[in-house]
Chain A
Amino acid sequence: MKDQLFRDILSRVAKPARYTGSELNMIKKDWEQAGVKMAFAFPDVYEVGMSHVGGKILYGLVNEKSRHLLERVFAPWPDMEAIMRAEQIPLFSLESFRPVLDFEVLGFSLQYELSITNVLNMLDLAGIPLWSRERNEAHPLVIAGGPVVFNPEPFADFFDIFIIGDGEEVLLEFLDKVETSRGLEKVEKLKRLAAIEGVYAPALYNVEYREDGILKSFEPRFAEVPARVRKRVVKDLDQAYYPDKPLVPYMEITHDRAVLEVMRGCQRGCRFCHAGIVYRPVRERSLETLESQARHQLQNTGYEEISLASLSSLDYSGIDPLLKGLVGNYGEKGIGVSLPSLRVDAFSIDLANEVQKVRKTTLTLAPEAGTQRLRDIINKNVSEEQLLDAVEAAFKSGWLSLKLYFMIGLPGEREEDLEGIIEILQKVKYIGDKYSRRPVEIRASLASFVPKAHTPFQWRPQNTMAELDSKQQFLSRRRRKRIKLSFHDRRTSYLEGVIARGDRRLAPVIYLAWQKGCKFDGWSEYFNFDNWQDAFRESEVEPEFYTGRQRPYEESFPWDFIDIGVSKEFLQEEDQKAEEGLTTADCRQEGCSDCGICLAMEVSLNIKGGNVDALEKQI
């Protein structure tokens, strides 16, 4: 197959380096000697999948720390897919160019709701039946992990297993058990695997719905199967595996740099934020660990840039010494440091100036909402004064363009909040023009709010497409000179919303949409909303049921059985506080807010700079 690819196929496709493998630091294990053979599939194109940090962690973990083997698979771009189908080339792995069908486990990383059509397409290209019930012991075990699977139910019929929580904490244990369960009948195998904490096998549960469509019961079919599935958590990131020799692709990928994961989790408690709840608690890496990881990664990759990744990297308690150390050690060699997300305060701007002494391109800040009232509702604890201070600091020190993130369609939003967005943008522009010699460029990205499972807003209705449309038009009409607004596609937001709080009855819709040709739904050039609408109609599923209702507090949700450690009571209290416009402080500053995570997971906040006053010291 490899010969055929290199000689006849690859010269006919765009960006052939997506399919050639052999990157620097690639690990190709001996197939015969290896234990369980797992294919790690990312349901998007190579350059997106290769940018994902979680995949790099699992790749190194399995290949370096166990006798099992893990090889990579990405979604072929449609030009390559067409040739593969015409020439009957099955989906293959990049390490040994073997068909995916030869592997024992096929694990998908689900980072985005709409990547599910790519999952189905990849299964089909691999020659694997799409429905879990149609696969037997001879097929690979099809599993998934990632943020999306905190509500796995819409995808339950396609997967044999979901892994909930931090993958590096459970994957080796899982693969060991796959090995010792060889030869068992499928349902027995699933039962054995489901005994591992964090492992969910949907076929082992019966689900019933009431006549009005609401969940009636969710129960294990066997006594030994747990009723709730608790997420797995890495307690100490310093002890957790992190790759010192990540793969270095030959072609340019989306995030083409070394990555330091400074911490996991975020406790700012923004009420719309899914990751902020499901990845609690905050766990930091120590400075020593990070410095050593930076050194090894740069030595082994030759990357020209290192980036600090986490949900809110500037909240890392050792951010100041870390950045100074990195700039001091590597700046002279032409190696830059990048900060993907900035906090909205002047301190952040000072730090950004520190690391980007020469390159002052675009600075990004996320006030999220246009008025203080609405920012209080969503618990985005940023005042207009802080924002404008940050903006002033940025323009004073030479930045020429600024990007701001907002959301529209938030709970409790009024016209004044939309006006507020425009007012903020104009103030920002005014400050910019005051300090800069030439007119500054202001860009605002306006996402549509999508209520997600496990967040305080999980009971709230989502704006309809018509509502979002009129809000987008309202804002567009107020467009000002050199302030550019860009909106998310309200149709993708709508679909995301349906799936994010969906249940098992969505499976036929997803299947139909894929049959009609849906794939790469996250890519605007391939997104086809008509096909999705037809799929809903033909399978007689009413999408408004999932997005349009204000759900009562007593309603049972399809994802309630996933135990994320944060209590439903806490989420409800947060939602009620939102209704009253009350905020909740970060528990590192003002003490425990009783979300339940530390008790549930037997963990404590792992803040290297000291728990309570680290933040105040910085500000």
Chain B
Amino acid sequence: MKFLGNLDMMHLMERSLRRAAIPYALSEGFNPHIKLSMGTVLPVGLWGENEYFDLELSQRMDIIDFRQKLSVALPSCLQLGECQEINDSAPSLMKIINAASYVFLLEPPFPSLDKWKEELLARPSLTVRSRGKKKGLDKELRTGIYRIEVEQSLNFGRVEIWVAVGEPVNVRYDELGELLLQTGFTQKSIAEVFRSGNYIREGSSYLSPLEVRLDKHTSPCGHSGVPPCGVTIKVGGMRVNK
């Protein structure tokens, strides 16, 4: 699953919606497509634990029924999390998601994680070669790194890093990987990388899109009797268990 490209993921979701016979809304125009939009692009080679989609429906549907039908139709390597009704005042996921967290699972040998974290956060500047738009140029990551959590036992390590997404600084997972390599880790010690979450960061709190929308955009649609209404869908890839 983690090797799917962005477009492949969209196709997978669209085909699942068709198999589930969900009353999706179609766009107008020359090439009608399902009104489905993805939160943020999940890079090839990475799986995500909490990824979000918005779907517009052509008619309102009971959310429990929706969840049940879609979860049967999804391939077994994708798990359906929560689904939540939203109304058309909800801004697009892509606009509101401004932070993400990535997890690096580690195998020995690797340095002491507590010490590594302390030293890293103490540094005023962290530069890597940019992998994004300005490929090859130096990129300053420090302001985009919000928070780091570490966990360590004898033969296992886990580093979770919360970073900025979008403007003004966008931190990519492969840039974090390079940062790890620069600061004492080896490629061999990184056993697995995945995205653990997508958030709307407000001050020091990280809200999931579902939480934000529960507060602001769920005055039930169909309330005034008019479609369109929609659903936010959370899905997650399965962990590769050894």
Which chain B residue lies CB-closest to A16?
B3
The yes or no answer to A248 lying at the interface (CB within 8 A) is yes
Contact of A17 among B8, B30, B34 (CB under 8 A): B8
Contact of B4 among A6, A250, A304, A334 (CB under 8 A): A250
Which chain A residue lies CB-closest to B193?
A11
Give, as a whole number of angstroms, the nearest-CB distance from B193 to chain A.
10
Query: A110–B141 Cα gap in the complex (Å)?
Result: 53
Query: How many A-B contacts at CB < 8 Å in the complex?
Result: 60
Q: Which residues of A contact B45 (CB under 8 A)?
A: 11, 16
Q: Which residues of B contact A359 (CB under 8 A)?
A: 30-31
Q: Contacts A302-B73, A359-B31: A248 and B8 contacting too (C-beta < 8 A)?
A: no
Contact indicator A302/B16 (Cβ below 8 Å) = yes
Contact indicator B19/A250 (Cβ below 8 Å) = no
Q: Which residues of A contact B240 (CB under 8 A)?
A: 6
The yes or no answer to B64 lying at the interface (CB within 8 A) is no
The yes or no answer to A301 lying at the interface (CB within 8 A) is yes
Contact indicator A3/B15 (Cβ below 8 Å) = no
Contact indicator B33/A334 (Cβ below 8 Å) = yes
The yes or no answer to B129 lying at the interface (CB within 8 A) is no
Which chain B residue lies CB-closest to A10?
B3
Query: A301–B1 Cα gap in the complex (Å)?
Result: 18
Which chain B residue lies CB-closest to A22?
B77
Which chain A residue lies CB-closest to B29?
A358
Contact indicator B15/A301 (Cβ below 8 Å) = yes
Chain B window 7-32, contacts with chain A (Cβ cutoff 8 Å), 1 for yes, 0 for no: 11001101111110000001001111
Which chain A residue lies CB-closest to B28?
A358
Q: Which residues of B contact A334 (CB under 8 A)?
A: 26, 32-34
Chain B window 171-210, contacts with chain A (Cβ cutoff 8 Å), 1 for yes, 0 for no: 0000000000000000000010000000000000000000
The yes or no answer to B5 lying at the interface (CB within 8 A) is yes
The yes or no answer to A303 lying at the interface (CB within 8 A) is yes
Contact indicator A302/B4 (Cβ below 8 Å) = no
Q: Which residues of A contact B34 (CB under 8 A)?
A: 334
Contact indicator A303/B15 (Cβ below 8 Å) = yes
Query: A300–B72 Cα gap in the complex (Å)?
Result: 12
The yes or no answer to B222 lying at the interface (CB within 8 A) is no
Contact indicator B3/A17 (Cβ below 8 Å) = yes
The yes or no answer to A24 lying at the interface (CB within 8 A) is yes
Contact of B5 among A248, A251, A358 (CB under 8 A): A251
Which chain B residue lies CB-closest to A18?
B3
Q: Which residues of B contact A50 (CB under 8 A)?
A: none
The yes or no answer to B242 lying at the interface (CB within 8 A) is yes
Give, as a whole number of angstroms, the nearest-CB distance from A48 to chain B.
17
Q: Which residues of A contact B (CB under 8 A)?
A: 3, 6-7, 10-11, 16-17, 20, 22, 24, 248, 250-252, 256, 298-304, 333-335, 358-359
A-B contacts, 16 listed (Cβ < 8 Å) = A6-B240, A11-B3, A16-B44, A16-B45, A17-B3, A250-B4, A250-B8, A251-B5, A252-B7, A252-B11, A256-B11, A303-B15, A304-B14, A334-B34, A358-B29, A358-B31
